[in-house]
Structure 1
Amino acid sequence: IRKICDGSTDPNLEPICGRPLGLKFHIETCHLYIADAYHGLLVVGPYGGVAEKLATSAEGVSFKFTNGLDIDTKTGMVYFTDSSTVIQRRNVDSLLRSLDQTGRLLKYNPYTKEVSVIYKGLVFPNGVALSKNNSFLLVAESTRMRILKFNLESGAKAKNMSKVFADPEVFAVLPRVPDNIKRNKDGDFWVALNTGRSESIQSDAPDPIGIKYNEEGTVLKRLDGHNGMIFNSISEVKEYNHRLYIGSVTKPYVGILNDY
């Protein structure tokens, strides 16, 4: 008898079988943390196996759309987003149109095994990335087509307090819907741009599918999708060893750029 969750791409099975979105290895422990859209925050040990469920709710409110994730390897804290407390990933188009403001930024403490809600009222929070020195956190607010910057309090204080952020500032305003944010070894950030070109952008203006920023928010590079001939919508840009590894929810492969 064929198992229901056999690795197929049937979207109707997502709520049962799960949909892993954010992924990050803890470089000290080799544990793989997973933000699964339907099953919450998960972890897999260094030798693989079945994922362990760490959290499915915060403050008594269940996760509906667990999404982006990053890890502070100094404190062990896991920062992640719940894109909505109302709308699931399978209804993502409805979420983009709804202006739903129930999205949350959360922190998982692996020592106490507790989840703290550290910011509420976000409009489709998506990708998450810590700065190189862990002093601030970037969050993609997809519906509003912008990146928010949360300044962190440092040291042991941040490890023990539930609220570690001041109100965010706008780090970047974007021409498309942002998805994941990935930091490179130099501390710069690649923001992947999904579909949905902003109506405020002139029709003859550049329409990149990825933008590289430094820590101050200055644009370092724009990634051209060549009018959709190569990529029209990407979910992630990972820079490693002078290459770009490009993910997409619309393509059945990972793209690799050697010269960019």
Structure 2
Amino acid sequence: MQRIPTWFTVPAVLAVLSVILYQTIIAPDKLEGAKNILSMAKTIPIPVNGPESIEWDPQGEGPYASVVDGRILKWRGDKLGWVEFAYTSPHRGNCSTHKVVPTCGRPLGLSFEKKTGDLYICDGYLGVLKVGPEGGLAELVVDQAEGRKVMFANQMDIDEEEDVLYFNDSSDKYHFRDVFFAALISEWTGRVIKYDKKTKEAKVVMDNLRCNNGLALNKDQSFLIVCESSTGLVHRYWTKGPKAGTRDVFTKVPGYPDNIRLTPSGDFWIGIHSKKSPIGRWMAGNKWLGYFVEKTVPLEWLVAVINQFKPHGVAVKISGETGEILEILEDKEGKTMKYVSEVYEREDGKLWFGSVFWPAVWVLDRK
């Protein structure tokens, strides 16, 4: 009987072990009932990485996109493309279009105030800022609450009737660049802050959150919801009515959630950065391991592992009344969408998507 040579056996065994290892430890969860349709979306390239949040002004122009080099860009259509609208830091000398430079700021969640046309910006380094309808350098609104500095302003929403805004401060230790470490370390230091524009008072209304990321008010603004990237939990805080000042768990979504946006019908879309996997759950569930990863693993490797070495796109729609999951959309193979951070449904039914890392915005016309 002819003996199989070692040079053939060893690679074959390693290949089999690699497949088993991937399938049992790294492979992403299967999302039951998901519609694999996001690869059909139209791609609108953007010259800077990471249009993390998108927004339209009161006149319906846009979208505006917050990007990695500290600017907010405005889409002027296919002929004019993207133009600079605003920026959060005056320090523009060494800003990069591909990676975060802390002195340049990192704008994240965007919210236009309809009655003034001001654009409010959560910056992952600088706090909450605003810029007028003409754009330019944004001015600081708030960067501390109850004696603690805002370290990681993330997403916000505005109650224009009450003249207050609510925003996430995702960590008391990490800024945006270390968001994945913030999600891994088992520290419940995230806060939701209410800022009264009249009194200039910043008050913590929710705390003990674990890397709280997205935030949105519901249609009648009686409550807000906020999602934790680490756990997938979506918490609810009642802002008005008989339950005002109380909180509960609204729902739980699959994957690692990012921004939340209210739909025209009163439901919510949640951008999912990536699906979960056994190794992701293991890392997020062990505090000691989180600290070890923080000290020893380069951020780029961690991002790759969390995304199962295959960046993809997922969006989840939940009921604005019950929190029930209504729909899951995905680009299973990441053919078109990668690192989805936000899903914005317009009145015409089109879905627009932002990305925390990729240099593109996408639009899906479901009609």
TM range (shorter): 0.7 to 0.9
Please give the alpha-carbon distance, in whole angstroms, between the structure 2 residues aligned to 1:5 and 1:177: 34
**Alpha carbons 2:313, 2:340 under 8 Å: kept:** no
Please name the residue that 1:204 is paired with. Answer: none
Task: Report whether the alignment pairs 1:9 with 2:97.
Answer: yes
Between stretches 215-224 and 129-138, larger displacement belongs to 215-224
* Aligned-pair CA distance for 1:242: 1.4
Please name the residue that 2:356 is paired with. Answer: 249
Secondary structure class of the residue paired with 2:340: coil
* Aligned-pair CA distance for 1:76: 1.5
RMSD of Structure 2 on Structure 1 (CA): 2.1
- The number of aligned residues is 243
Please give the alpha-carbon distance, in whole angstroms, between the structure 1 residues aligned to 2:352 and 2:275: 22
Please give the alpha-carbon distance, in whole angstroms, between the structure 1 residues aligned to 2:349 and 2:186: 38
**Alpha carbons 1:208, 1:222 under 8 Å: kept:** no
Between stretches 3-12 and 75-84, larger displacement belongs to 3-12
Task: Report whether the alignment pairs 1:103 with 2:194.
Answer: no
Secondary structure class of the residue paired with 2:179: helix
Please give the alpha-carbon distance, in whole angstroms, between the structure 1 residues aligned to 2:97 and 2:179: 17
Structure 1 pair 102–210 and aligned structure 2 pair: CA distance change class (3 A):
same
Please give the alpha-carbon distance, in whole angstroms, between the structure 2 residues aligned to 1:253 and 1:7: 19
* Aligned-pair CA distance for 1:146: 1.6
Between stretches 218-227 and 35-44, larger displacement belongs to 218-227
Residue identity opposite 1:249 in structure 2:
V
Between stretches 234-243 and 42-51, larger displacement belongs to 42-51
Structure 1 pair 221–5 and aligned structure 2 pair: CA distance change class (3 A):
farther
Task: Report whether the alignment pairs 1:137 with 2:224.
Answer: yes
Question: Higher RCO, 1 or 2 (CA under 8 Å, sep at least 6)?
Answer: 2
Secondary structure class of the residue paired with 1:94: helix
* Aligned-pair CA distance for 1:77: 0.8
Gap regions ≥5 residues in structure 1: 159-163, 201-206
Secondary structure class of the residue paired with 1:93: helix
Residue identity opposite 1:172 in structure 2:
T
Between stretches 77-86 and 190-199, larger displacement belongs to 190-199
Give the alignment partner of residue 239 of structure 1, picking from 334, 345, 349: 345
Structure 1 pair 5–81 and aligned structure 2 pair: CA distance change class (3 A):
farther
Q: Which has the larger radius of gyration?
A: 2
Please give the alpha-carbon distance, in whole angstroms, between the structure 1 residues aligned to 2:158 and 2:214: 12
* Aligned-pair CA distance for 1:198: 4.6
How is 1:173-184 mapped onto 2 (pairs within 5 angstroms)? 173-184=252-263
Identity, % of aligned pairs? Answer: 37
**Alpha carbons 2:274, 2:313 under 8 Å: kept:** no
Greater share of helix: 2
Please give the alpha-carbon distance, in whole angstroms, between the structure 2 residues aligned to 1:51 and 1:227: 38
Give the alignment partner of residue 251 of structure 2, picking from 172, 191, 199: 172
Please name the residue that 2:210 is paired with. Answer: 123
Deviation sequence 1:57-102 (CA, Å, 0-9, x none): 1111111111011001211211000000111211112112102211
Give the alignment partner of residue 187 of structure 1, picking from 254, 260, 266: 266
Residue identity opposite 2:319 in structure 1:
N
Task: Report whether the alignment pairs 1:230 with 2:336.
Answer: yes
Please give the alpha-carbon distance, in whole angstroms, between the structure 2 residues aligned to 1:52 and 1:154: 33
Residue identity opposite 2:251 in structure 1:
A
Task: Give the structure-1-normalised TM-score.
Answer: 0.87
Give the alignment partner of residue 161 of structure 2, picking from 74, 78, 81: 74
Please give the alpha-carbon distance, in whole angstroms, between the structure 2 residues aligned to 1:232 and 1:4: 28
Please name the residue that 1:203 is paired with. Answer: none
Please give the alpha-carbon distance, in whole angstroms, between the structure 2 residues aligned to 1:113 and 1:61: 15
Task: Report whether the alignment pairs 1:212 with 2:307.
Answer: no
Please give the alpha-carbon distance, in whole angstroms, between the structure 1 residues aligned to 2:132 and 2:253: 37
* Aligned-pair CA distance for 1:230: 2.2
Residue identity opposite 1:149 in structure 2:
R
Residue identity opposite 2:195 in structure 1:
Y
